[in-house]
Every structure is written in C-alpha cells, then in structure tokens.
Amino acid sequence: MAVLVKGVGCASRPLLPLIQTWDLDARRWVRALRRSPVKVLFPSGQVLDRKPGKQPRKAVAEASPHVPRPKQPPPEPPAQTPSTWEESGLRYDKAFPGDKRLSSVMTVVKSRTFREKQGKILLEGRRLIADALKAGAVPKTFFFSRLDYLKELPLDKLKGVSLIKVKFEDIKEWSDLVTPQGIMGIFAKPDHVKMTFPATQLHHSLPLLLICDNLRDPGNLGTILRSAAGAGCSKVLLTKGCVDAWEPKVLRAGMGAHFLVPIVSNLDWEAVPNYLPDDTRVYVADNCGFYDQTQRSNKASDHGWICDQQLSKLHKYEEEEDEDLETGTSKDCLPKLEVQSYDLDWAEASTAVVIGGETHGLSLESLQLAESTGGKRLLIPVVPGVDSLNSAMAASILLFEGRRQLRLRAEHLSRDRS
C-alpha cells in the first residue's frame, strides 16, 4: 500500500513543473508584445529609430517603401450655409393686429383696372410661385403664414423682396382656393420677351400658334392655355375683349401654363399679323355644322359665330348688299372661307388657329385674316341636334390634331432626306 501511494506521488510530480513552464512562457510572450522596439529594421535595409513612448502605427506604415500611399489634398473647409435668415441677408416683418398691408394689396391685384395700372399680379401656392421664379418673374411682396413655406423657395430669388408673415386666417380670407396653401406672392406683370421658358418646352415647341378671340370665361381660357402648353404651341395671342390672362381664376385653371408658353395679351386685330411668322396660314374653328349651314340664311347676322359687337357694321353691309341686289350687282359682306373637316391635312410649316368665345363667337376681323392668308374654317362634326362644343374642348381637339399633323409631316421630311 505504501508502494502504491509512493508510485502515485512519483507520477504526479512532473505535472507541476510543466504547468509552471507553460505559464511562464505565456507571460514572457505577452510582455514581449507590450514592449516598444527601439529600432525598426525594414527588408530594404532602412532603419527607423523610435523614441521612447507611444508612437502611432501610422508613422511606421508611411515610412515603409512597400506600401505607397497617395497624397491626399488638404481637406476643404466646409461651406458655411446660413443657419438663420439674418445670416442669409433675408428678413421678414410680422403683421400685427390691424395691419392693412395685405388687404390693401389684395384690393389692387384683384381688380383688372388696378392690375393694368399698377402692373402687378397675384400668385398663390408654392408650386405656382416656384414656377414663376424659375421663369424669371420678378417678385415684389410675399405674404406667408409659416416660415417653412419660404424655405422651400430659392433664397437667391428672395433678396430684396418684402416678406410679411401674417396669420393663416388672413390668407384664408383673401384666398380664392378651397384649401389655401398659406403663401401668396405679388409679382410684376411678366413680359414674355424677358421670361425664361423651360428648355424641354422649347425643344418640343412646334410652329403652331393660338389666337383667342372674345374669350370671356376665365376657366375656359385657363384650360385653353394649359392645352396650348401641352400641345407645344410656340405662342398664344389674346385679342381685346378676352378675359385677363393673369386673373386669379385663369391662373388657377392654367396650372402653371402661363410660365411654359409665351402669352401676348390685349392685341388689336391690326397688330396680330405682326406677331405671326411669315407665310403663316390662319384657320378658324367653325361653330356651326353642315346641317346648320344649309338651314341658315346667307346674312351675316344669322350666323352665331359672328361677334355681337360687329352687328351694327354687318347690318350696314347687309343693307348695302340689298341695294346692290336691287341694282343687279352682288357684293359679299362676309369672307368666303372653305369649310374643311378638322381631321384632314391642314397644319403646315406655320399655322395659327383662332378660337372664339361661346357667347360672342368669332369676330369679323378673324374671318378676314383667315381669308387673307388662305386659311379655312375647321369643322369638328357632332351629332345633329347637339350644340357646339365647349371652346376649351374644341381648342384642345384642334391643337393636338395640328400637333399630330406637324409631327407626321416632320417625320416624312426627315425620312425623305435620309
């Protein structure tokens, strides 16, 4: 028994020195890793002296010739963006109770007489104001209920503009929108010559012009302007007697079309040819169908597409015609224009379409201009017994048909050249 115990003791003796040796070697390696070398020898023979103390590993990596590192330019200082309106040079006033600046301005811009005299218009809504600023319209005054609405606009366009913060209830009182957007802008009346239209719109522009004659309904005019911009019209001419293109209702119906296509307003018929390119052929939209033409007399006053303002002049022509018939001579009081269906070829190199109002119709001057340029009356056939189409709808049909014909003609020309 003693021998067995002695044998076990002898077998367990070598374990203690082995454990102690492994523990000593591990501690020795740890201490070696923690030590900082005095010198670093690279394979190329370069010797790098290291000072006592901590030194970043980056220095060793930069000194190694085998790890080339590109030189980085010094970091540029961050751009200092203005964090407040004072730093950007913009300041705004806060309207106090009893402030009449908003009411006085609204009284001016909501009247056509004052708009023409003051040369100012009213734009409401962030999108419409942003389109106006992008097109180069000159802002004068902004009324807003929240500062965030102004921050959505380009700051460089707001320098020198009078900024007035008012209550949302005040804007709602003067707004024409069902849901006001909290911002209203007073702009100088834009000039189509000085405006900058989008490059995409100019790229898709066609030699197609629109002439509005005696359009009195604001909603119709705004819709027509929107269709003209969508069809790629190069210009829109408004004669005297049309509703003001910059009236708030027209602007709301136009949905930004005022800043996509040039608009020339308040023109006399004598000045209209000056805004048409050379060799432009003028066509007029026909309000009466073939059935109505056969049932109506040849007198001018019996045609619904003649303006009421011209009736006195036309009655004079009719009296002269009756006298000429008695003497055996005939004298036409109305220009003779051939009637053509709208879906036949009529759009050429440069084409203008005249759209008359639903109440007063086309004027005599428009028919005379169409006759002098070799134009025709374009008929949109409808079912017998149905009244003539809405002027905005008729304009849209004719303009997009003209666009289709012009594009098809351009494709044929390019195909022939190739």
The kind and range of the H/E element at 171 are helix 168-174
Q: Taking CA 221 as the corner, what is the angle to CA 217 and CA 173, rounded to the nearest 5 degrees?
A: 70
- Residues 43 and 63: beta-carbon distance below 8 Å: no
pLDDT computed for residue 386 by the predictor: 81
Taking alpha carbons only, the member of 156, 185, 180, 158 closest to residue 169 is: 180
Block mean pLDDT (10 aa), the chain, length 418: 45 48 54 62 70 52 52 56 55 83 81 86 92 94 91 86 91 86 92 92 93 94 96 96 93 94 95 94 75 40 37 43 48 78 91 90 92 94 84 95 93 80
Long-range pairs for 126-132 at CB < 8 Å and ≥24 separation?
126/152, 126/153, 126/181, 126/183, 127/256, 128/251, 128/256, 129/153, 129/183, 129/185, 131/256, 131/259, 132/185, 132/187, 132/190, 132/259
The pLDDT value recorded for residue 24 is 52
Residues of CATH 3.40.1280.10 domain(s) within the chain? 199-293+336-417
Among residues 159, 129, 127, the alpha carbon closest in space to that of 143 is found at 129
Give the pLDDT score at 160: 87
Q: Summarize pLDDT for 345-375 with one digit per residue, the tens.
A: 999 889 999 999 877 788 999 999 999 999 9
CATH class of domain segment(s) 90-188? alpha beta
Please report the pLDDT score of residue 5 as a whole number.
43
Residues 148 and 125: their CA atoms lie apart, in Å, by: 13
Is the whole-model pTM more than 0.75? no
Q: Which residues contact 224 (CB under 8 A, 6 or more apart)?
A: 210, 212, 215, 355, 391, 392, 395, 396
Q: Does domain 199-293+336-417 have CATH number 3.40.1280.10?
A: yes
Spatial separation of the C-alpha atoms in residues 358 and 308, rounded to whole Å: 12
CATH 3.30.1330.30 residue ranges for the chain: 90-188
- The reported pLDDT for the residue numbered 293 is 43
**CA–CA dist 102, 180 (Å, integer):** 15
Which run of H or of E encompasses 57?
helix 57-63
